[in-house]
């Protein structure tokens, strides 16, 4: 076996590579559902494809499509996306040291900063491993996301109703899979429960997309309780 063949074999046996490729496949399915849903709601194919490449934030893109389809002003969709992606501020502080000092690296690295790339990076032990995981995950997911949104949009043009294939449930299922391990923490479980309750209560009365924004109040439930209340709970 040549050196190149051994290198390739080692690459595919790498646990990180397998995990990242599995995640990329899952995100491709979610991206296809976004494209199909967006086109079925009247969003031009070129616009949702451009959004997938430039925004590269699944939750924000789903929210924007839902708000615009419900008749909300574009500024509402932009503000909703900014609120949803506010978590990238602490993300940036956590992984900023993994990017090179040059502005091209920081610019591209910032664009690739999604939940998965940050999670995979922080799960590693050494700085070199963190940097490798960050770039590998970010590049793999980006290469899977934008093309899948385009292909999903093409599918949506021919299918008409993405719900017939269950594509409308792909994003909620993916998000549920991502948060399941975190629900072992009581504070996270409390925040999710509050958010779900608010979304369910407001869905009958608010336009499509807005209940998701209203559910963000659940983040307050993740804040540490005052020491006085903590002391009373432990009694």
**Distance of alpha carbon 59 from alpha carbon 218, whole angstroms:** 16
Residue 182: its pLDDT value, please? 65
CA-to-CA distance for 55 and 29, rounded, in angstroms?
Answer: 18
φ/ψ of residue 56, rounded to 5 = 50, 55
- Cβ burial of 220 (10 Å; 0-12, 13-18, 19+) is exposed
Q: What secondary structure letter does DSSP report for 205? A: T
**Segments of 182-228 assigned E as strands:** none
129 burial level (CB within 10 Å; 0-12, 13-18, 19+): middle
In this prediction, residue 234 carries a pLDDT of: 47
Distance CA 65, CA 51 (A): 10
Regions in the chain scoring below 70 on pLDDT: 1-13, 70, 72, 159-183, 207-210, 212-213, 219, 221-235
pLDDT at 223: 64
Confidence (pLDDT) at 166: 56
- What's the pTM value of the predicted model, to 2 decimals? 0.66
Predicted confidence (pLDDT) per residue in 196-226, tens digit: 888 888 888 876 666 766 777 776 766 665 5
Query: What pLDDT is stored for residue 15 in this prediction?
Result: 78
Backbone φ and ψ for 160, nearest 5 degrees, come out as 90, -60
CA–CA distance, 195 with 182 (Å, rounded to integer): 15
Domain positions in the chain are 3-167, 185-235
Q: What is the pLDDT of residue 148?
A: 92
pLDDT digits (tens, 9 = 90+) for 11-40: 445 778 888 888 888 888 888 888 888 888
């Amino acid at each position: 076996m040549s050196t190149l063949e051994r290198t390739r074999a080692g690459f595919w046996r790498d646990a990180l590579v397998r995990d990242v490729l599995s995640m990329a496949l899952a995100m491709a399915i979610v991206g296809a559902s976004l494209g199909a849903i967006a086109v079925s709601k009247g969003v031009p194919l070129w616009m949702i494809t451009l959004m997938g490449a430039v925004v590269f934030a699944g939750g924000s893109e789903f929210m924007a499509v839902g708000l615009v389809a419900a008749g909300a002003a574009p500024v509402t969709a932009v503000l909703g996306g900014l609120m949803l992606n506010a978590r990238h501020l602490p993300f940036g502080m956590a992984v900023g040291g993994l990017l090179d000092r040059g502005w091209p690296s920081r610019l591209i690295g910032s664009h690739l900063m999604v939940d998965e790339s940050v999670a995979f990076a922080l799960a590693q032990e050494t700085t070199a491993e963190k940097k490798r995981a960050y770039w590998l995950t970010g590049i793999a997911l980006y290469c899977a996301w934008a093309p899948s949104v385009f292909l999903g949009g093409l599918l949506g043009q021919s299918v008409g109703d993405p719900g017939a294939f269950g594509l409308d449930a792909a994003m909620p299922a993916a998000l549920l899979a991502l948060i399941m391990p975190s629900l072992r923490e009581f504070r996270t479980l409390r925040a999710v429960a509050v958010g779900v309750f608010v979304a369910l209560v407001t869905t009958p009365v608010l336009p499509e997309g807005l209940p998701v924004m209203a559910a963000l109040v659940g983040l307050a439930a993740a804040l540490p309780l005052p020491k006085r209340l903590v002391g009373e709970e432990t009694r």
